[in-house]
Amino acid sequence: MRPVDKCDTTVTMLGATYSMPVFVTPAGVHKLADREGGEGATARACERASVACGVSQHATTSIEDVAAAAGRANHLWYQCYILLDRGITADLVARSPLL
Protein backbone atom coordinates (compact mmCIF):
# COMPACT_ATOMS: atom_id res chain seq x y z
CA MET A 1 0.00 0.00 0.00
CA ARG A 2 1.09 3.52 -0.75
CA PRO A 3 -0.31 6.86 0.31
CA VAL A 4 -2.55 8.37 -2.33
CA ASP A 5 -3.51 11.64 -0.66
CA LYS A 6 -1.01 13.55 -2.81
CA CYS A 7 -1.57 11.86 -6.19
CA ASP A 8 -1.09 14.14 -9.17
CA THR A 9 -2.59 13.01 -12.47
CA THR A 10 -1.64 16.22 -14.31
CA VAL A 11 0.05 15.69 -17.66
CA THR A 12 1.56 18.09 -20.19
CA MET A 13 1.38 17.15 -23.84
CA LEU A 14 2.53 19.31 -26.75
CA GLY A 15 2.55 22.38 -24.54
CA ALA A 16 -0.95 21.94 -23.10
CA THR A 17 -1.56 20.86 -19.51
CA TYR A 18 -4.42 18.49 -18.71
CA SER A 19 -5.82 17.35 -15.37
CA MET A 20 -5.32 13.70 -16.27
CA PRO A 21 -4.17 11.58 -19.20
CA VAL A 22 -7.65 11.22 -20.71
CA PHE A 23 -8.59 11.95 -24.32
CA VAL A 24 -12.20 12.11 -25.54
CA THR A 25 -11.91 10.64 -29.01
CA PRO A 26 -13.28 12.43 -32.06
CA ALA A 27 -16.70 11.22 -33.11
CA GLY A 28 -19.19 12.93 -35.35
CA VAL A 29 -22.92 13.58 -35.22
CA HIS A 30 -23.17 14.44 -31.51
CA LYS A 31 -26.37 16.34 -32.30
CA LEU A 32 -28.13 13.00 -32.66
CA ALA A 33 -27.78 12.67 -28.88
CA ASP A 34 -27.88 16.39 -27.95
CA ARG A 35 -29.68 18.54 -30.53
CA GLU A 36 -28.85 21.81 -28.78
CA GLY A 37 -25.21 21.38 -27.82
CA GLY A 38 -23.77 18.69 -30.06
CA GLU A 39 -19.98 18.67 -30.15
CA GLY A 40 -19.95 22.06 -28.41
CA ALA A 41 -21.40 20.45 -25.27
CA THR A 42 -18.71 17.77 -25.38
CA ALA A 43 -15.99 20.40 -25.80
CA ARG A 44 -17.37 22.41 -22.84
CA ALA A 45 -17.42 19.30 -20.64
CA CYS A 46 -13.83 18.47 -21.59
CA GLU A 47 -12.76 22.05 -20.87
CA ARG A 48 -14.40 21.92 -17.41
CA ALA A 49 -12.63 18.62 -16.67
CA SER A 50 -9.41 19.92 -18.26
CA VAL A 51 -9.00 16.90 -20.53
CA ALA A 52 -8.18 16.72 -24.24
CA CYS A 53 -11.09 16.64 -26.68
CA GLY A 54 -10.99 15.36 -30.25
CA VAL A 55 -13.16 17.12 -32.83
CA SER A 56 -14.21 15.04 -35.80
CA GLN A 57 -14.24 16.33 -39.35
CA HIS A 58 -17.72 14.77 -39.40
CA ALA A 59 -18.99 16.92 -36.53
CA THR A 60 -22.54 18.25 -36.72
CA THR A 61 -21.35 21.53 -35.19
CA SER A 62 -19.00 23.84 -37.07
CA ILE A 63 -15.30 23.84 -36.18
CA GLU A 64 -15.57 27.50 -35.17
CA ASP A 65 -18.55 26.89 -32.85
CA VAL A 66 -16.86 23.93 -31.15
CA ALA A 67 -13.72 26.01 -30.54
CA ALA A 68 -15.80 28.89 -29.16
CA ALA A 69 -17.65 26.51 -26.82
CA ALA A 70 -14.41 25.02 -25.51
CA GLY A 71 -12.91 28.30 -24.41
CA ARG A 72 -9.30 27.20 -24.84
CA ALA A 73 -8.41 25.79 -28.23
CA ASN A 74 -5.31 24.06 -26.85
CA HIS A 75 -7.58 21.41 -25.31
CA LEU A 76 -9.02 20.53 -28.73
CA TRP A 77 -7.52 18.22 -31.33
CA TYR A 78 -8.89 18.18 -34.88
CA GLN A 79 -9.31 14.91 -36.79
CA CYS A 80 -8.81 15.75 -40.45
CA TYR A 81 -9.26 13.33 -43.31
CA ILE A 82 -7.40 14.02 -46.52
CA LEU A 83 -10.22 14.17 -49.05
CA LEU A 84 -9.99 13.41 -52.74
CA ASP A 85 -10.58 17.11 -53.38
CA ARG A 86 -7.51 18.46 -51.58
CA GLY A 87 -8.92 21.99 -51.84
CA ILE A 88 -11.75 21.10 -49.45
CA THR A 89 -9.23 19.61 -47.02
CA ALA A 90 -7.08 22.76 -47.24
CA ASP A 91 -10.16 24.96 -46.63
CA LEU A 92 -11.12 22.95 -43.53
CA VAL A 93 -7.62 23.21 -42.13
CA ALA A 94 -7.39 26.94 -42.97
CA ARG A 95 -10.63 27.81 -41.17
CA SER A 96 -9.90 25.67 -38.14
CA PRO A 97 -9.08 27.77 -35.07
CA LEU A 98 -7.75 24.57 -33.55
CA LEU A 99 -4.59 24.52 -35.64
| pTM for the whole structure | 0.82
Q: What gap in Å lies between CA 24 and CA 9, rounded to an integer?
A: 16
| Number of domains the chain contains | 1
Alpha helices for the chain (secondary structure H): 38-49, 63-70, 86-95
Q: Is residue 2 part of a domain?
A: no
- Predicted local distance difference test score (pLDDT) of residue 98: 65
Domain that holds residue 30: 11-95
Give me the half-sphere count of Cα atoms (radius 13 Å) on the Cβ side of residue 84.
0
- Predicted local distance difference test score (pLDDT) of residue 99: 60
Q: Is residue 6 part of a domain?
A: no
- Predicted local distance difference test score (pLDDT) of residue 73: 62
- Predicted local distance difference test score (pLDDT) of residue 1: 79
Q: Is residue 58 part of a domain?
A: yes
Other beta carbons within 10 angstroms of residue 20's beta carbon come to 13
Q: Is residue 1 part of a domain?
A: no
What parts of the chain have a pLDDT lower than 70? Answer: 72-74, 98-99
